[in-house]
Structure 1
Amino acid sequence: MNKKVLSYIKDNKLIKNGDKILVAFSGGPDSLCLLNILIELKNKLNIKIGAAHLNHLLRGKDAFKDEEFVKNICEENDIPCYIKRVDINKYAKEYRLSSEMAGRNARYDFFQEILDSKDFNKIATAHNANDQAETILFRLIRGTGLEGLGGIKVCRENKIIRPILCLSRKEVEQYILDKKLNPRIDKTNFEKIYNRNKIRLDIIPYIKQNFNEDIVQTLNRMSLLIQKDNAFIERIALKAYNKYCNRIDGDFLLNKELFSEEDSIITRVVRKALVEISESCYDFEMKHIYDILELFKKETGKVIDLPKSICAENIYGDIKLRKNLKNRVISIKNEIKLNKNDLQNKIIEFNGYNIKMSILANTSSDELNLNESNLIKYFNFDKIDSIISVRTRLVGDKFMPLGMKGKKKIKDIFIDMKIPKEDRDNIPLICFDNNIAWIATLRVAENYKVTKNTKNILKIVVERKE
């Protein structure tokens, strides 16, 4: 058995010389088998081993007996042992998760805590070939895509490894007998109140008896083929993600051109963006991805809510993913007023911008490049009576854009220029005597433009604060 596992470890490059392996140790047959095999292979692999046990506080006295068993095994083998207790029912209620998902999250959070604070670089879990078969059937019944049918990966993120995924449950049980080990038995594994247990106790035995006696190995072979095919598609999807997805101030903008790609690429790009913005792999289902695909076909401004307080908005065909604005705190100072005679070398901080003002006396327009940048604009200082103000928009705001004779609503300008709704209330409006002279970075007004007859010029520079 050790030779089989050693060969599997080497073939899949799971462990390197000098690795420090943290074993997820429940005390049950699978994890005891894994721990014992790694202890016996420790010198050949030149590794260090530790064990981590999470007490879910679900099984009364038995849970504490499991905890004591784990401690004793680790002491007997002189390996470090880390134990934590988490009330999984309370955890599940707090985070609105199933008890199974809550347990999984709590375990991996605990394992990561140990990796971050202790001298370990990999986590070994005791999934076996039967677990793989059960996982594939479980996902198939619930509904899944190609990645889901690939089942459990032998290695994830070059950090989580499954060294006994090559062993069947029968082989694990035989190893336990041969080594005269006495694992803890979780009685809940035999209760048919859990769907996974029903698959283990009813469905797989039925398939073995009536269709395919080797169903476990058949599903494991299939998973390897699917994983290879999926890896190829994932590489193409990653190129599309880098091409079409842009991160802006923590939000993600999916370019409309993405949605002309094949569905298999689109769905993967959208899922990756959701995972990145939410920092969670487990809260999004295909229905959420399809909701975003449908959103692409809707009118601009349409917004949908997603799990993890994420929302998606159609912005003229592009899809913006962002943390829900209901959970954001945005501090906006409505207005700053200055006297005309107090502008020289003035710097105003407003809504995340630095606005710098300076007066260029007796300067000809011929000496300036009036269109050098959207962040630098020049105005006829002599037309300003007394007050310069910086504020955000008000309902009904209008101004006369450069080159036009009539006024236009600020709202319509934002719509025409495809400015996202959540950004419109932050954009500074520079006003002279209560008239809007510049929608900062966007449009300037006709009535304060610099001409050949202008003698004194007001220069305004707008910069984003770091």
Structure 2
Amino acid sequence: MINKVRDFVVENNLIQNNDKVLVALSGGPDSVCLLSILYKLKDYFNIEIGAAHVNHMLRGDEAVKDEEYAKSICYKLGVKFFSKRVDINKISKDMGISHELAGREERYRFFEDISKANGYNKIAIAHNANDQAETIIMNMMRGSGIEGLCGIRSKRDGGIIRPILCLSRNEIEEYCNYYDLNPRIDSTNLENIYRRNKVRLDIIPYMKDNFNKDIIETLNRMANLLQIDNDFIEKECNNSYKKYCKESKKNLVIAKDAFFIEKAILTRVIKKSFVEFSGKHTNFEMKHIYEVISLANNSTNKKINLPHGIIAENVYGDIYLKYKEENKSEENEIILNKENINNKEVQYGEYNISFTVISNKNNIEFSNNVLIKYFDYDKIKEKLIIRKRKNGDKMTPLGMKGSKKIKDIFMDLKIPVEKRDTVPILCFDNEVAWIVEHKVSDRFKITKETKNIIKITFARKG
């Protein structure tokens, strides 16, 4: 079995020369077997080993004896030992989650803390072939796709490795008996109270007796085959994500063209978008993915709610992911007197704005900068106003005769709805003169009759 683990580690590239490996040591058969085998292989791989134990404080004296046993076996081997006691019952109640989930999160947090503080670059977890089979069955009952049917990976991000995933529970027990290791037995593993225990104690034995005595090996073989296929699909997904998705601090945009690719890739691109934007892996379900696909086929400006306070919006076929609180701009309007405007500077939103009155239009070098515009100063009666759009706003765009609603101009320019309130509107008296960066009014253009000109510059801060 030692050679079997060695070959599995090499085949899956789990350990490299000079690695520092922290073993998650509960004191049970799986983790004790893992520690023992890695200890016997430490010279072969030229690695340093440590062990970490978390006492969940759920089983009273039994849990204390588990901790003492884990400490003693490390002492005998000369392996560094780290331990921590955590009141999982309290954490579970405070966070409103199960003991299993609370325990898992606390364990991994402790392992990561110890690794960072002591230079361990790998964390070895004692999942075995039976754990793999149980996980696959549980995922199947939840209606999982191919990714869930891949089960447990031999390694994952963060330096997590599973060197004995190739061993069955029977092999582990035989190993512990042969070397007289006397591991601790968690009595709750023998009780039919948890979902996983029911799969372990009821479903798998039934499948063995009635369908396939080698069901553990069969499910592990299936997982290995599916992992190969899944890796290929994931590679295609990552390529499509880079091609069709654009991230920023405020939103993530899935381009409309993404919704024409194969659905097997598209669904993963959308799921990846959820995770990349939110930084969270939980609570996103297939129904949310299909809602986004349906949204892409809907009319523009339609929105749906997603987990973690995210909304998805159709903006001319592109799908924008953003947080609800980022939709509105609350800028107040600025009113300036025409007579005092020359060389004036003000701030509005993300802009610094300056005004210059010019008497000789022949000395002007007009700019192509969309943030710099020139207007007929004498057509302004009393005041200049800077504000966001209002219902009913209209203007006559340069070169046109009739007026047009600002709302329709925004739609023609395909400005996303959530950005429309952030676009400054410059008014002369009560008329819109400039939709900043986009359109100017024909009403205030410079002509042959113009005597005085006002130059207005919007410059973004920073």
Same fold (TM > 0.5): yes
Q: Which residue of the other structure, out of 392, 415, 418, is the alignment partner of 2:414? A: 418
**Match for residue 215 of structure 1?**
215
CA distance, structure 2, for counterparts of residue 392 and residue 272 of structure 1: 35
SS in 1 for 2:419: helix
Q: Which residue of the other structure, out of 348, 351, 358, is the alignment partner of 1:350? A: 348
- Whether 2:190 is the aligned partner of 1:194: answer no
- Residues 1:444 and 1:149: Cα distance change in structure 2 (over 3 Å): same
Contact kept in structure 2, 1:122 and 1:159, CA below 8 Å: yes
Equivalences for residues 4-153 of structure 1 within 5 A: 4-153=4-153
In the TM superposition, what is the alpha-carbon distance from 1:352 to its structure 2 partner?
A: 2.5
Equivalences for residues 229-308 of structure 1 within 5 A: 229-308=229-308
In the TM superposition, what is the alpha-carbon distance from 1:97 to its structure 2 partner?
A: 3.9
- Residues 1:238 and 1:363: Cα distance change in structure 2 (over 3 Å): same
**Match for residue 368 of structure 1?**
366
CA distance, structure 1, for counterparts of residue 59 and residue 2 of structure 2: 33
Q: Deviations over 1:105-125 (max 9, x none)?
A: 333333333334331212111
Q: Which residue of the other structure, out of 412, 429, 440, is the alignment partner of 1:444? A: 440
- Structure 2 residue identity aligned to 1:253: V
Equivalences for residues 290-329 of structure 1 within 5 A: 290-325=290-325
- Structure 2 residue identity aligned to 1:272: K
SS in 2 for 1:319: strand
Question: Once structures 1 and 2 are overlaid, which stretch shifts more, 238-247 or 452-461?
Answer: 452-461
Contact kept in structure 1, 2:327 and 2:418, CA below 8 Å: no
- Structure 2 residue identity aligned to 1:414: F
In the TM superposition, what is the alpha-carbon distance from 1:145 to its structure 2 partner?
A: 1.1
CA distance, structure 1, for counterparts of residue 348 and residue 114 of structure 2: 44
SS in 1 for 2:67: helix
Question: Once structures 1 and 2 are overlaid, which stretch shifts more, 238-247 or 70-79?
Answer: 70-79
CA distance, structure 2, for counterparts of residue 64 and residue 392 of structure 1: 65
- Residues 1:302 and 1:181: Cα distance change in structure 2 (over 3 Å): same
SS in 1 for 2:361: coil
Give the RMSD, CA atoms, in angstroms: 2.5
TM-score w.r.t. the length of structure 1 is 0.90
- Residues 1:417 and 1:94: Cα distance change in structure 2 (over 3 Å): farther
TM-score w.r.t. the length of structure 2 is 0.91
SS in 2 for 1:152: coil
Unaligned runs of 5+ in 2: none
- Residues 1:89 and 1:158: Cα distance change in structure 2 (over 3 Å): closer
Contact kept in structure 2, 1:130 and 1:216, CA below 8 Å: yes
- Structure 2 residue identity aligned to 1:258: A
**Match for residue 383 of structure 1?**
379
- Residues 1:180 and 1:353: Cα distance change in structure 2 (over 3 Å): farther
CA distance, structure 1, for counterparts of residue 57 and residue 454 of structure 2: 70
In the TM superposition, what is the alpha-carbon distance from 1:235 to its structure 2 partner?
A: 1.2
- Residues 1:233 and 1:463: Cα distance change in structure 2 (over 3 Å): farther
In the TM superposition, what is the alpha-carbon distance from 1:159 to its structure 2 partner?
A: 1.5
**Match for residue 205 of structure 2?**
205
**Match for residue 179 of structure 2?**
179
- Residues 1:87 and 1:301: Cα distance change in structure 2 (over 3 Å): farther
CA distance, structure 2, for counterparts of residue 407 and residue 94 of structure 1: 60
- Residues 1:180 and 1:421: Cα distance change in structure 2 (over 3 Å): same
- Residues 1:270 and 1:10: Cα distance change in structure 2 (over 3 Å): same
CA distance, structure 1, for counterparts of residue 125 and residue 439 of structure 2: 59
Contact kept in structure 1, 2:189 and 2:197, CA below 8 Å: yes
CA distance, structure 2, for counterparts of residue 465 and residue 96 of structure 1: 45
Unaligned runs of 5+ in 1: none
SS in 1 for 2:139: helix
CA distance, structure 2, for counterparts of residue 354 and residue 113 of structure 1: 46
CA distance, structure 2, for counterparts of residue 159 and residue 457 of structure 1: 66
- Whether 2:452 is the aligned partner of 1:462: answer no
Q: Deviations over 1:304-334 (max 9, x none)?
A: 2222222212222211112232xx5977331
Q: Deviations over 1:353-384 (max 9, x none)?
A: 33344444423498424xx2433333223323
**Match for residue 401 of structure 1?**
397
- Structure 1 residue identity aligned to 2:331: K
CA distance, structure 1, for counterparts of residue 435 and residue 9 of structure 2: 62
- Residues 1:344 and 1:164: Cα distance change in structure 2 (over 3 Å): farther
Question: Once structures 1 and 2 are overlaid, which stretch shifts more, 268-277 or 413-422?
Answer: 413-422
- Structure 2 residue identity aligned to 1:390: I
Contact kept in structure 1, 2:247 and 2:277, CA below 8 Å: no
Question: Once structures 1 and 2 are overlaid, which stretch shifts more, 133-142 or 278-287?
Answer: 278-287
Contact kept in structure 1, 2:88 and 2:102, CA below 8 Å: yes
CA distance, structure 2, for counterparts of residue 340 and residue 84 of structure 1: 71
CA distance, structure 2, for counterparts of residue 417 and residue 54 of structure 1: 59
- Residues 1:87 and 1:440: Cα distance change in structure 2 (over 3 Å): farther
**Match for residue 336 of structure 1?**
334
Q: Deviations over 1:215-257 (max 9, x none)?
A: 1111111111111111111111111111110113341111111
- Structure 2 residue identity aligned to 1:447: R
CA distance, structure 1, for counterparts of residue 272 and residue 148 of structure 2: 15
